[in-house]
Amino acid sequence: MKLPHSYYNPLSLAGTVISGFALVLIVLSFLFSVIFDAGSSYLGLFTYILLPVILIMGLLLIPIGMYRAVKRAKRLNEPVSTRWLVIDFNDPRYRNAAAIFVIGTVVFMLITAVGSYEAYHYTESVEFCGQVCHNVMKPEYITYMNSSHARVACVECHVGQGANWYVKSKLSGLYQVYAVVADNYPRPILTPISDLRPAKETCEECHWPEKFYTPRMQFERHFLSDSANTQWDIQLLIKTNSQHSANNLVEGIHWHINPNVRIEYIAEDESREVLPWVRSVNLATGDTMVYEDSWAPLDSATIAAAKPRVMDCMDCHNRPSHNYLLPQQFVDVAMASGNIPFLPEIKRVAMGILKDPYPTEDAALSVIKTEISKFYQGNYPGIPAASVDKAIAGVSDGFRRNVFPEMKASWDVYSDHIGHVEYNGCFRCHNDTHMSSTNDKITRDCNACHTILKQGRPGEEEFSGGSEPLPFKHPVDIDEVWKESLCTDCHRYLYL
């Protein structure tokens, strides 16, 4: 089969071979993934991204080679046709070239259509976001797989609907690929995400504020770090919503996102951990309240220059999908579920090990193994080795799911804003020091957000009579300190 002379040059021929190979490989790996349903992350990376790039580069080499061949022929004064494009269908060369061009274009368009559809889906898949760069995204991926949203794709929260956010996310994705290749990405990955899409366009696609929830029952089981691992249970009714409404504003925790309410705040810095200035506006009546932290108020110039952030879901639910539990939390969970057996002093021993920072996961796992074995061999030689091994496995498993030394990702850097015991969360505003000009406070009343229905050691619990909430009793005697100070003043540092 003959083609125009200028085609027969090394570059164009190489381009043909390269693009031919790429095409065959694309078709084969596409068929492979369809027939064997083996949509592995790396195969997708080849089929939909790398190979098509090679294919296009190969195709580009063909005209480049032809152009260079014509120029070279001109330079050497070889006979070339200088006239513009004469297509003479009596000449079989042009018939062949035209046929190849037409068929090639149709096939290429079809492949491009299927390919870009598949590429779109592939780059939106959980495998692509969570697993391709698995060292970098390991903390987010593992915590995500342990969350209630494990079946919600990353992009549902991080990109959402619509072409402009898709393009925006792929553009920032390009930079991220560069950062990974150049190995200059931050460890840990920064939080909060400064340009996260507003919750209205992501979370609210599935959870909408007009349809909010009945109060939620929450049951917490703790183990103290004494020699008996004393169990302490707390049952709370969390007032996500409440039955009565005043001024058309339904009260309860989700009042903050009632469509008639707008709460804004100015944060001390980008971490949003300290919120010295808060404004609440009732959009129905126009009533406005400004609360300032009476301990550390902002000066008026800072307030005037600041751009307040409007509170949304993310200001409380910032860890719906990547929640890094503290050691005391994941050890309690594992003890309650039986993954860590009830050996004497196990909570204290585990805390003694987990309080330290480790450079790598392997280093931590090896210390967990040797220290726990050593402790029980030395102090309780009668305990069977199988139970000690089970305890080691339980503590190691908790560590692997919640602490990621290589990426420096853990509870220490990723606060959870729901609650107030380990992080300030609600108490960033509800701390009794935020005052309005009329001396109203943002409440810290222990019954404003939840009522305690049950608390205490098994067999000695106190129960609430139903309508009357129980006054909180701190599990260990710390006098009345908890009434005045923040819970985090002690709870972040309990075992350090």
Site for ligand HEC in 153-182 (CB under 6 A): 154, 156-158
Q: Which is nearer to ligand HEC, 68 or 474 (CB)?
A: 474
Q: Are 226 and 209 in contact (CB under 8 A)?
A: no
Find the part of the chain contacting ligand HEC (CB under 6 A) among 12-20, 25-33, 66-74, 311-319: 311-319
Q: Is 231 in the site for ligand HEC (CB under 6 A)?
A: no
Site for ligand HEC in 246-265 (CB under 6 A): 251-257, 263, 265
Q: Is 444 in the site for ligand HEC (CB under 6 A)?
A: yes
Q: Is 276 in the site for ligand HEC (CB under 6 A)?
A: no
Q: Are 225 and 495 in contact (CB under 8 A)?
A: yes
Sign of torsion over alpha carbons 320, 326, 332, 333: positive
**In angstroms, what is the minimal distance from the CB of 132 to ligand HEC?**
10
Q: Is 224 in the site for ligand HEC (CB under 6 A)?
A: yes
CA distance 273 to 271: 5
Q: Is 124 in the site for ligand HEC (CB under 6 A)?
A: no
Find the part of the chain contacting ligand HEC (CB under 6 A) among 3-11, 87-95, 108-116, 141-149: 141-149
Site for ligand HEC in 184-213 (CB under 6 A): 189, 191-193, 196, 199, 202-207, 209, 213
Q: Is 107 in the site for ligand HEC (CB under 6 A)?
A: no
- Find all residues with CB under 8 Å of 184, minimum gap 6, and list them: none
Q: Is 282 in the site for ligand HEC (CB under 6 A)?
A: no
**In angstroms, what is the minimal distance from the CB of 170 to ligand HEC?**
15
CA distance 330 to 398: 6
Q: Is 277 in the site for ligand HEC (CB under 6 A)?
A: no
Answer for which of 138, 197, 222, 401 binds ligand HEC (CB under 6 A) is 222
Whether a cis peptide bond, with omega within 30° of 0, leads into 192 is yes
**In angstroms, what is the minimal distance from the CB of 134 to ligand HEC?**
10
Find the part of the chain contacting ligand HEC (CB under 6 A) among 63-71, 170-178, 362-370, 423-431: 423-431
Q: Is 278 in the site for ligand HEC (CB under 6 A)?
A: yes
**In angstroms, what is the minimal distance from the CB of 398 to ligand HEC?**
15
**How many Cβ atoms from other residues are within 10 Å of residue 143's Cβ?**
21
Q: Are 145 and 152 in contact (CB under 8 A)?
A: no
Q: Are 61 and 15 in contact (CB under 8 A)?
A: yes
Q: Which long-range contacts (CB under 8 A, 24 or more apart) does 346-351 make?
A: 346/229, 346/391, 347/223, 347/224, 347/225, 347/229, 348/225, 348/226, 348/227, 349/375, 350/391, 350/395, 351/225, 351/327, 351/494, 351/495
